[in-house]
Amino acid sequence: MESELKELNSKPSHDDGSSKDDRPLLKPDTTPPPSSETLQELERKFAAYVRNDAYGPMGRGALPLEEKILLAIASITLVPIRVVLAFIILVFYYLICRVCTLFKSPNRGVEQEQEQEVEEVEDYAHMGGWRRAVIVRSGKVLSRAMLFVFGFYWISDTYKNLSTTTNQSEGKDQPEEPERPGAIISNHVSYLDILYHMSSSFPSFVAKRSVAKLPLVGLISKCLGCVYVQRESKSSDFKGVSGVVTDRVQQAHQSSSAPMMMLFPEGTTTNGDYLLPFKTGAFLARAPVLPVILRYPYQRFSPAWDSISGARHVIFLLCQFVNHIEVMRLPVYYPSQQEKDDPKLYADNVRKLMASEGNLILADIGLAEKRIYHAALNGNNCLPSVLHEKDD
């Protein structure tokens, strides 16, 4: 999402064209905000991306004096300590991954050409023996430690039993013996979702190709077995993201030694109160899935990464003395034959189940509307006409 915000903030202007945001974090934005009538219209249309915390839209709202004092205290006490500890954990885990992958040949897929969308590069997720065990166990522990450093001292885990509901009873092709799900399906609220799932099940993710080349994080992502994507590509002469993800989901379903895929079928983040339409890529394999619902209760600052820049979000998050996360795990969802034959139906039914059990509101908007909302909040006057085109 950070790349989306950077793209919107890099529009040409009358000054030197710099896209850098030099506005103070504790002062309100000097850009004229939308009128109250326009803001209400925006919030009605794009409610899934509206921040309802004390920091206001884009995290640039006018803060009360008390909040400014708390931020000032935290910025000189909590933030430096947390940054140092987080960096130590990251480097320590990188060294573990480096030692465990020494003299070990990575699994290599067929590398695609540069202009194509999917590139399967080095993958250490299929290693076996003590190397894989050390990487997974230390990864879970250190991911939980990272969340602790960020202020998530307690995690509320709830296991929902749906045996009394109609959704998992009749009409389902449930096996006599439980089958391994091929993918974990989760709503997407923040980049913190990844840390939680790493601490819980250590699955593989879909990530941008550039992640594989990042210092420290690159090797860790390869140990996770991430599927790398060139999002900007327009090429269609290749296997595609869905094909690679489908293969990985099938492998995870059929073999307990294969890393499970973790997928966010919404395709972008929300404020945590809504559930966007699901993409069908996670459901093409016709394998069972494990639905997981994440929520981040808050008092002052919402950990949701919906309509706020990455740097601003990280700083405000580190300034919070305590953060909260609630997790609801639903039983493995076994698709009926009709759902296996219709991935769209399969995706819609899982989405409705998650919305019902997690008290989430179904929203029929997506990434395009999110970009419109961001642009409008940033004062882009070229887009208001599009708002009316999005009316139902």
Q: What is the pLDDT of residues 246-303, one digit of tens each?
A: 888 998 899 888 889 999 999 899 999 999 999 998 899 999 999 999 999 998 899 9
**Residue 250 in domain:** yes
Question: Residue 27: pLDDT above 50?
Answer: no
pLDDT at 181: 93
Least confident segment among 225-229, 340-344, 383-387: 383-387
**Residue 99 in domain:** yes
* Residue 35 banded pLDDT, cuts 50, 70, 90: low
Convert the pLDDT of each residue in 76-95 to its tens digit: 999 999 999 999 999 999 99
pLDDT at 169: 42
**Residue 200 in domain:** yes
End-to-end C-alpha distance for the chain, whole angstroms: 26
pLDDT at 184: 96
pLDDT at 269: 92
Domain residue limits at 109: 54-163+176-367
Convert the pLDDT of each residue in 291-336 to its tens digit: 999 999 998 899 998 888 888 899 999 999 999 999 999 999 999 9
Average pLDDT estimate for 336-343: 94
Q: Give the ranges where 25-152 is alpha helix by DSSP (H).
A: 36-45, 65-76, 78-100, 129-149
Strand partners, 295: 326
Residue 201 structure tokens: 């099940």
Question: Residue 207: pLDDT above 90?
Answer: no
pLDDT at 107: 64
pLDDT at 129: 86
Are 55 and 316 in contact by the 8 Å Cβ rule? The answer is yes
pLDDT at 73: 94
Burial degree of 156 (CB within 10 A; 0-12, 13-18, 19+):
exposed
**Residue 116 in domain:** yes
**Residue 343 in domain:** yes
Whole-angstrom distance, CA of residue 94 vs CA of residue 67: 36
* Residue 121 banded pLDDT, cuts 50, 70, 90: low
**Residue 135 in domain:** yes
Give the global pTM: 0.80
Q: Round the average pLDDT of the chain to a whole number and report it.
A: 80
Total domains present in the chain: 1
Q: What is the b/e burial string over 63-84, where b = at least 16 CB atoms within 10 angstroms of the residue's CB?
A: beeebeebbeebbeebbeebee
**Residue 41 in domain:** no
pLDDT at 257: 82
Give the percent of the chain with pLDDT over 70: 76
pLDDT at 123: 72
> Which residue has better confidence, 119 or 364?
364
**Residue 244 in domain:** yes
Cα–Cα distances in angstroms (integers) from residue 59 to residues 20, 28, 71, 288, 314, in the given order? 16, 9, 13, 39, 11
